[in-house]
Amino acid sequence: MATLDHMKINLEGIGHALGDRYLRVPLYQRSYAWEEQNVLDLIDDLRNAFTKNEKEYFLGAVVISETEEVISEVVDGQQRLATTTILIAAIRNYFQDHGESDRAADIERDFLLSRDRRSQELRARLTLSSADHDFFLRRILQRETEKIPIRPSHERLLAAAKIAERRVASIAKSVSTPTDHLLRWLDYLEENARIIWVQVPGHANAFVVFETLNDRGLGLSAADLLKNYLFSLAGDRLDEAQDLWTRMLGSLEALADEETVVDYIRHYWSSTSKPSRKRELYFTIKTATTSKQAAIALGAELQAHAHLYAALLNPNHTHWVGVGGTAKEHVATLQLLRMEQNRPLLLAGLRHFSVPEVRKTLRLIVSWSARFLVVGGLGGGTMERHYSDRANEVRSGEITTAEELARAMAGVVPTDAQFRSSFSTVRVSQTWLARYYLRALEKTALGEKEPELIPNPNEEQVNLEHVLPQSPEGNWPDVEPEVARAYYKRLGNLALQRKGDNSLSGNAPFDDKKPYIQKSRYKLTQSIANKDQWGPTQIDERQEELSELAVNTWPI
């Protein structure tokens, strides 16, 4: 760990910090991450402090690393610097739009953009990371409205700009002298909105300060803390560590928001070690990674697995072209089922299994996921521990096939008997999940080869109907209201019906619904018409029949 040689600490206005120098966010830093509420909080707090004539408003610390170039690198503080720049741009825009072009030009020159004396090219005072800067420069700083956002971080930048412009317009409208008021607010940003400006001579020193100022991870993600810790260990291999991190983010593509990066690192770590909660992840990895070689090795592994994780989140990822078969459909199904505890195992399988075994494993995990959703009983932490244990066995070579994997999980995954029993009484509140179950069961009833694949057609085309209504009232005299409420969401009472066919919804009596049930294009819906009446007994019977189909739909 480097010492803090020649560190400079000053109290400085954030406006001065932006106007007095050129700043650059290194490309390995995360993209713009602030959501609308973060932006609103900062702008409204600044506005309130200014309105109340508070002598100072404190925005925390910004850590800067000196380089041999004129431009300095931002190690910590890019979100506040970027958002303040966006606010100043909104004030500039107000003057441009209200006929005060000279004033707007002064603000632009002092805080946002300067023109190179020789080339006459505009140069931003603040340069964001490579994923964001072109959009930030052209759409926010230069106001090129044709520049379209193509990443989530671009959407956040644009949302922040719109919030800032609305706030500036609101302030201008609320006072009798808007020009003077906005100029005084700009003065406040320049002098009174203070930051602790921490400037150190090299990367390693900056990373030490970064970690010290953010002790215990307050306000930062585990990914930010881990990145800076690995960089601090890298020493003379810092460029290599930064390149690995940048390539990792590139492999995660447009998915690389803060939360996804943390999830990826946590699931990778679980697949090679033991599961770790998000709040413990940084300290767990820091304890296990204590040397330059270990830091580079971890960075290399994170980079090597990142494209596999991106593929798990995107059924249309190019990785699945090489896997073939029904792999992408299985991935889509896992996305639909919204279970992520299996990702450590899937990461290990994608890395170490042959392509045929990957295809079998994906199908196996779809079946396990459906069974766990119905039977329950395993908490998320316990389930992830089992998946983590299997992942470690895959990496060590103890498990090399999907069949061996199935045997290793035999004591964990619900058996056919357990699954059948739970399925025969399951109630499903989530419409998306009920639609999945019924469409998959329909495919089994029709004899399709892999019915568990995502069978979720457009909701604009297929309705989920309740045969027995929640409030039967007088049309169902044999069913008590409390019984109807208990059976309303039972899977045996649910039916698929294409839009355009007459609806089965509403509290019309069963005899009125029956003709439309008979005309349904779904085999399992048609079967309801074989009953002379409909109530708890018939729902139990139908659900028992569906449970037999379920064992074959999601086999283990």
| Torsion angles phi and psi, residue 200, rounded to 5 | -125, 155
- Sorted by sequence, the CB contacts under 8 Å of residue 350 that are 6+ apart come out as 308, 311, 312, 319, 358
- The first and second tokens of residue 270, run together, are 């679980």
Domain co-membership, 309 together with 323: no
pLDDT at 215 exceeding the cut of 60: no
- The first and second tokens of residue 370, run together, are 């459906």
Mean pLDDT of 456-468: 73
147 in a domain, yes or no? yes
Predicted local distance difference test score (pLDDT) of residue 504: 65
Domain co-membership, 159 together with 244: no
Domain co-membership, 56 together with 12: yes
Residue 289 is classified by DSSP as -
3-state helix, strand, coil in the chain (%, to 5): 60, 10, 30
Predicted local distance difference test score (pLDDT) of residue 204: 54
501 in a domain, yes or no? yes
Domain co-membership, 66 together with 94: yes
**Dihedral class, residue 11 (left if φ above 0, else alpha if ψ from -120 to 50, else beta):** beta
Domain co-membership, 167 together with 36: yes
Strand order in the sheet with 126-127: 8-13, 193-200, 57-65, 72-76, 23-24, 126-127
pLDDT at 501 exceeding the cut of 80: no
Domain co-membership, 19 together with 145: yes
pLDDT at 473 exceeding the cut of 80: no
Final residue before a domain boundary, out of 272, 288, 313: 313
Q: Give the distance between the most distant pair of CA atoms in the chain.
A: 89
What is the C-alpha to C-alpha distance for residues 332 and 299, in angstroms, rounded to an integer? 29
pLDDT digits (tens, 9 = 90+) for 346-374: 999 999 999 999 999 999 999 999 999 99
Q: Count of domains in the chain?
A: 4
2 in a domain, yes or no? no
Domain co-membership, 126 together with 175: yes
Domain co-membership, 430 together with 490: yes
Choice between 183 and 223, residue whose per-residue pLDDT is larger: 183
How do beta strands 193-200 and 57-65 pair?
parallel
Burial 460-487 (b: 16+ CB within 10 A, else e): eebbbbbbbbeebeeebeebeeeebeeb
- The first and second tokens of residue 521, run together, are 């294009």
Q: Tokens 């069963």 correspond to what residue? A: 510
Domain co-membership, 56 together with 173: yes
Final residue before a domain boundary, out of 293, 313, 333: 313
> Of all residues in the chain, what percent carry a pLDDT higher than 70?
90
How do beta strands 126-127 and 8-13 pair?
unpaired
3 in a domain, yes or no? no
Rg (CA), the chain: 30
Predicted local distance difference test score (pLDDT) of residue 1: 38
- pLDDT bin (cut points 50, 70, 90) of residue 36 is very high
Q: Supply the pTM of this predicted model.
A: 0.72
Domain co-membership, 452 together with 498: yes
Contacts 24+ apart (CB under 8 A), 178-185: 178/94, 179/95, 179/100, 179/103, 182/91, 182/94, 182/95, 183/103, 184/50, 185/46, 185/47, 185/50, 185/91
26 in a domain, yes or no? yes
Q: Tokens 């190019």 correspond to what residue? A: 318
Domain co-membership, 60 together with 203: yes
Q: Which domain holds residue 193?
A: 8-211
Domain co-membership, 267 together with 390: no
What is the C-alpha to C-alpha distance for residues 514 and 512, in angstroms, rounded to an integer? 6
Predicted local distance difference test score (pLDDT) of residue 2: 41
CA distance to 96, 112, 193, 208, 490, per residue, from 92 (Å): 6, 9, 18, 37, 60
103 in a domain, yes or no? yes
Residue 379 is classified by DSSP as -
What is the C-alpha to C-alpha distance for residues 389 and 271, in angstroms, rounded to an integer? 8
What is the C-alpha to C-alpha distance for residues 432 and 421, in angstroms, rounded to an integer? 22
Counts of helices then strands in the chain (DSSP H, E): 25, 10
373 in a domain, yes or no? yes
pLDDT digits (tens, 9 = 90+) for 505-544: 677 888 888 888 888 888 999 999 999 999 999 999 999 9
What is the C-alpha to C-alpha distance for residues 33 and 194, in angstroms, rounded to an integer? 22
Predicted local distance difference test score (pLDDT) of residue 219: 47
- The first and second tokens of residue 401, run together, are 């096939």
Short-list 263, 252, 34, CA closest to 154: 34
pLDDT at 430 exceeding the cut of 80: yes
283 in a domain, yes or no? yes
Final residue before a domain boundary, out of 313, 339, 363: 313
What is the C-alpha to C-alpha distance for residues 310 and 256, in angstroms, rounded to an integer? 9
